[in-house]
A and B are shown apart, each in its own frame.
Chain A
């Protein structure tokens, strides 16, 4: 098995992923990683039902994903899709490793700040992703396959107001 893509998207398996990323990556296997959805059979059913028949998919807990991410599909291209940053954290805590991680959709909540139209983070989440980067995971933001990737650190740093010289 060759994992070609690690992504975080709070909409999880949805149109952008199904019609955009899967054909773009020519992936045949989706490993959905979500503590919440893996515990909800109806929700898991609805997500998997949405995928094309030729895609093999499962939705499992982060801890199980660490064990599953080896060996079974030698020739196939696999995508690992997390439903939240919290799931990525649990994956890391269980011993999982990711060299490069795509942030594809983290949506508005009252205590989140917008960094890009599709990236919103609380202060705690901002600290969390910076820690992930500092421990060796490259994190970049890109919602759709043909949009420009942006390194996460570059959007987290405050911009300087050229007129006042102050950080915004």
Chain B
């Protein structure tokens, strides 16, 4: 088997997949150098079954299928990156794969992580807060008056 995915990589793949593709594109364009790359697997869209433990027994339940797009690239340096994103945005999957490969580069990887990830984290955080604010504005507190039973 492959070595189990290490903590930081798992985290950045999550962040990259959930980030706004437009922002990723801007960050990618802003990088000082763009490595050459080839597709190991060109971006392709497919379906993945989403399963969850829904019943009271905790048995897995097929919730439904969602569309996913995946892509794998190899940089000219030999590093390989994989990208899986929800939806059908092929460029997003490609960008995730490219960033994943960049972050794993032996020398420059850490530097790339430090320039890219904080910005993405910040954006995700603010999106989440906005969402929470919007939700909170429409909050309704339900209560029931105690009825006298006499």
A, B in one complex: no
**Which residues of A come within 8 Å of B, CB atoms?**
none
